[in-house]
A and B are shown apart, each in its own frame.
Chain A
Amino acid sequence: MTTTAFRPYAPGTQPLNDTPSYRSTGKRHPVQPLVALPTGQTATELLPPHFAAARYPASADLSRVNGQEAQGERIIVAGRVLDEDGRPLPHTMIEIWQANAAGRYDHPLDTHPAPLDPHFHGAARVFTDEEGRYSFTTIKPGAYPWRNHANAWRPNHIHYSLFGAGFAQRLVTQMYFPGDPLLELDPIFHATPDAAARNRLIAAFDIGITQPEWALGYRFDFVLRGRGATPFEDAA
Chain B
Amino acid sequence: MPHATASQTIGPYWHLLEDKDWTDLTRFGAQGERIALTGRIIDGDGALVTDACVELWQASPAASDQWDGFGRAATDKQGEFRFVTLKPGPVPVSPGGKVMQAPHISLAIFARGLMTHLHTRVYFQGEALNAQDPLLCALPDTRRGTLIAQEQAPSLWRLDIVLQGDGETVFLDV
Contact = CB atoms under 8 A, between A and B. Distances in A.
Contacts, number: 239
For chain A, what secondary structure do more than half of its interface residues adopt (helix, strand, loop), or is it mixed? loop
A43 B92 contact: yes
Q: Indicate the member of A26, A47, A109, A159 with the most B CB atoms within 10 Å.
A: A47
Contacts of A44: 57-59, 91, 101, 104, 106, 121
Contacts of B14: 97, 159
Nearest to B12: A109
Which bracket fits the contact residues of A?
35 or more
Interface string B147-174: 0000000000000000111001111111
Interface residues of B, number: 73
Interface string A191-210: 11000111011000000000
Contact of B113 (A3, A14, A25): A25
Interface in A37-66: 37-39, 41-47, 49-52, 55
17 contacts: A2-B94, A13-B3, A14-B7, A28-B111, A29-B164, A30-B168, A35-B138, A35-B173, A37-B135, A37-B173, A38-B137, A52-B65, A84-B2, A85-B1, A107-B16, A159-B11, A170-B117
Interface of A: 1-3, 9-10, 13-17, 19, 22-39, 41-47, 49-52, 55, 82-86, 95, 97, 99, 105-107, 109-110, 121-123, 159, 161, 167-168, 170-174, 188-189, 191-192, 196-198, 200-201, 222-226
